[in-house]
Chains A and B, each alone.
Chain A
Amino acid sequence: AQSVTQLGSHVSVSEGALVLLRCNYSSSVPPYLFWYVQYPNQGLQLLLKYTTGATLVKGINGFEAEFKKSETSFHLTKPSAHMSDAAEYFCAVSGQGSQGNLIFGKGTKLSVKP
């Protein structure tokens, strides 16, 4: 069985500050891990994914995430927040070898203050 826990349903940062969104997963098989972003009234857009290989993954819009197996974590970071980053972010897990059967966390809403 697989599950995802996102710590903090709402995170607020100042423009230019570090963004850190936390995600912990549980999986009985080697996982694939994903971060998606959802802007209001839109669908989900893939930010980045970890499948195999390098544990530090770079995505679009300056975001990156690091897979830490020992901590069962896949936290999302961005060095400097921009107003346009305000959105809801979802962490998801699937079984290795497939990018179907995604299990999503409950999401973290990111607010960026000017």
Chain B
Amino acid sequence: EAGVAQSPRYKIIEKRQSVAFWCNPISGHATLYWYQQILGQGPKLLIQFQNNGVVDDSQLPKDRFSAERLKGVDSTLKIQPAKLEDSAVYLCASSLDGYQPQHFGDGTRLSIL
């Protein structure tokens, strides 16, 4: 089966600019996760979707980050405006439901200048 697809793989922007990441989960997976992985740390959950509804966004900095999952399939994560501390790898993962193992994409590496 095809894995979790993410694009772009790399992105370089200047602070205060906006950026968007895209994720296509494994077909049939109802649950989708976005993680932020800062260099030297483990992934931190930003938001969890169940179909097109938000299950947990308690760690999403809502003043600058937004995410949507229209039609319960693809998802986009946006940062506007970006700060230097947003430099990280953004990982998308999906699972059949919230009780099954998560499958991760290869991530988008974001550098803020």
Interface of A toward B, CB cutoff 8 Å:
4, 9, 34, 36, 41-46, 49, 90, 92, 97-102, 104-107
Neighbouring A residues of B40 by C-beta, 8 Å: 9, 106-107
Interface of B toward A, CB cutoff 8 Å:
4, 31, 33, 40-45, 48, 55-56, 91, 93, 95, 98-107, 109
Asked if A99 contacts B43 (CB within 8 A), the reply is: no
Asked if B104 contacts A43 (CB within 8 A), the reply is: yes
Bound Cα distance from A44 to B107, whole angstroms: 9
Neighbouring B residues of A90 by C-beta, 8 Å: 42-43
Neighbouring A residues of B99 by C-beta, 8 Å: 97-100
Between A34, A45, A99, the greatest number of chain B beta carbons within 10 A of the residue's beta carbon is seen for A99
The answer to whether A49 and B101 touch (CB under 8 A), given A90-B42, A100-B95, A106-B40, is yes
The answer to whether A106 and B42 touch (CB under 8 A), given A99-B101, A100-B98, is yes
Neighbouring A residues of B100 by C-beta, 8 Å: 99
CB distance from A3 to the nearest CB of B (A): 11
